[in-house]
Amino acid sequence: QVHLVQSGAEVKKPGASVKVSCKASEYTFNNYYVHWVRQAPGQGLEWMGRMNPSGRSTSHAQRFQGRVTMTRDTSTGTAYMEMSSLRPDDTAVYYCATPREPFSGSGYHTYWGQGTLVTVSS
């Protein structure tokens, strides 16, 4: 079982950046792909991207290309998602998620963080 704990809520001004962290309770977190999914208020789920276990390979949805950076610190078992040039329509809950099996590039998400609300407002 993998428990993912995310950083707390953030309030940012338009144009700023935000960095959300996702830490796992299991050291083997370093063996999992990490996906990021967001959900705007009252809206559906939007897949943003994923990062492989080593952190050397990432894939993003086209609309986030150039604005989202996914990284991980294998020494602490923490993954990060940084978004720049924030706009009010980036206001959303951001989730990290992983598949059930280590080293699996599968598209299903078994384990989820609790979500981090990012509010972008002037």
Binding positions for another protein, rule: CB under 8 A: 35, 37, 44-47, 49-50, 59-62, 95, 97, 100, 106-110, 112-115
Residues 6+ apart with CB under 8 A from 61: 46, 47, 48, 49
CB of 112 to another protein, least distance (A): 4
d(CA 38, CA 66): 17
CB 84 within 8 A of CB 65: no
Q: How far is the CB of 87 from another protein (least distance, A)?
A: 20
Which residue lies nearer to another protein by CB, 16 or 61? 61
Return the closest-CA partner of residue 7 out of 109, 93, 100.
93
Which residue number, 87 or 100, has a Cβ lying nearer to another protein? Answer: 100
Closest approach of Cβ 20 to another protein, in Å? Answer: 14
